[in-house]
Amino acid sequence: MFSLIALSLLFTVASSTPLVEQLGLKSNDSYNIQAVLVAGSNGWYNYRHQADVCHAYQVLRSHGVPAENIIVMMYDDIANASENPHPGKIFNIPKGPDVYAGVSKDYTGDEVNAENFLKVIKGDKGLAAKGKKVLTSGPNDHVFIYFADHGATGLIAFPEDTLSSDDLNKALVYMHDNKLYGKLTFYVEACESGSMFENILPKDINIYATTAANSEESSWGCYCDEKDIDTCLGDEYSVAWLQDSDKHDLTKETLEQQFKDVVKNTPRSHPQEFGTKSIADLVVGEFQGEKASSSNQLYRKVPARGSVNSRDIPLVMLRRKMIKTNDENEAASLHKQLSNLIAGRHFLESGMNKIVAQLCSAGFCSSVEEVMTTRRPLVNHSAHSTVVKKFNSSCLNVAVHNYAMKYIYVLANLVEANNFNETSLSHFLKALERACETHIVDNGFKAIV
C-alpha cells in the first residue's frame, strides 16, 4: 500500500514540477540577476551586432530584469546613420519590432573598448567613481554576459582594439576569486569564438559559456536579404537564442534545452559549450529573468535566411548595391570601393605568406604551406596573447582591419609549433616586427575588411 501511495505521489509531483526542480537543480539561494550586453563593432555593415544586443536588452527587460541591473556597451552609430532608411530604429528580424526603442546605453562611441569591458565585469571602483555603471554583483548573484562582434583565434574585437582569450579568462578567474558572482553564463557571437574558452576556461568556477562557432570556423550573419536595409539584421546563433528566449517560459526551460534549440537553428556553424556544464541544468530564467514575458507576441519566430559568412558581408553587400543602383556616379563609387576591398584582401593574403616565409627563414617554422594551411589547437593562450598584441602594434590593428582576423590562426600555429620560453619568445617578437615592417606596414589601405 505504501509503495503505491508513494508512487502515486511521485507521479503527481513529476507531472506538475519541472525536471530541474525534481532533481534539486534549481538554485534556491536568494540572488539578483545582473547582465552585461556588448556590441563590439561599429559601421553600417556591422548593423547586426547592435541589433542583436538591443534585442537582448528587450529580452531581459521583458522577463523582469531591472534596467539598473543591465549594462549596455554599443557604439550607437547605427540607429541614426545616414544609410538607415528607418531613422531612429533598429530591427533584428524582418518586419519585426524596433529593438532600439527604450534601450539604456551606458557606454557608447570610444567608451566601447576592451579596457572598459574588463573594468565593468571586475566591478572597477575607479570607473564607478566617475559615475559609470559596473557590475555590483556579489557571491550569490547570477551574472549574464552576452558579446556580439568579430572574432578570431584567441581574440574578440572592439571598434579600435581587441581582447585576448588569455586576458578575458584571467578576468573571469578574478571575478570568481573575488566572489563577484555565484553563477555566470556567457554567450559569445563571433567567428572562431570557441577558441575564447577552449583549453583555457576552468571547469570549476561556476561559469557556463556557449559560443556561436567552434575554434576554427566563421559565424554567419542572417536576414541579409532585406531590400531596403542593405545589410544583415542579425546573426544565426544570436537570433536562435533570442527567439528561443522570446517564445519560452524561462522558468521551465533549462540552459541545456536552449542550447540544443540554438544548435538546431544555427545551420552553418557549430555552437559549443564550455566550463561548468552542470549549470546548464538550471533554468534560463535564472540568468535572463523569471517573469513571464509581456512582449513575446511581438517577436515572430523567423528562421534564419539570407545568411552570409560573417567575413564576407562587406563584399556581398557592396556587390548587391552595385547590382541595384541605376545611378552611374553611385555605381562608379561602389565599383571603386569594391576594387579597393578586394585589393586589400589580396594584399593581406600575400603579405601573410611573405611574413611566414621570413619567419621560417629565421628558424621559427619549416614549411610556409604547413603554417598557412593547417590549424593547431590553441593551448598556449598566454604566448598567443603576447604575439597578437605585437602583431596589432607592429603589423596592423585587426580591430580596424577586420579581414586580418582570418589569419590570426597563423600566429597560433607558430606559437604552438615553438615551445617558447621568455628568451625565444622575445626573439620571435623581434623577428615578427621586422617581417611586418617589410611586408605589411605602410600598406596604404585605410581599412582592410
Beta-bridge mates of residue 145: 36, 186
Distance between CA atoms of 273 and 262, rounded to whole angstroms?
11
- Other Cβ atoms closer than 10 A to 377: 12
Scanning the structure block, which residue is given the C-alpha cell 537570433?
Answer: 239
Element (H, E) at 19: helix 19-22
Distance between CA atoms of 238 and 56, rounded to whole angstroms?
9
- Nearest alpha-carbon partner for 153 in 371, 368, 429: 371
What CA dihedral angle connects 35, 41, 43 and 45, to 10 degrees? -100
Side by side, the strands of the sheet bearing 234-235 are 234-235, 220-222, 308-309
Residue ranges of alpha helices (H) inside 104-235 are: 114-121, 125-129, 165-177
- Nearest alpha-carbon partner for 273 in 203, 181, 221, 175: 203
Distance between CA atoms of 395 and 400, rounded to whole angstroms?
12
Distance between CA atoms of 263 and 72, rounded to whole angstroms?
26
* Burial label, 74 (beta-carbon count in 10 A; 0-12, 13-18, 19+): buried
**Distance (Å) of CA 279 to CA 33, 140, 209, 428:** 15, 14, 10, 41
Distance between CA atoms of 289 and 175, rounded to whole angstroms?
22
Dihedral sign from CA coordinates of 124, 125, 131, 134: positive
- The set of catalytic residues is 150, 191
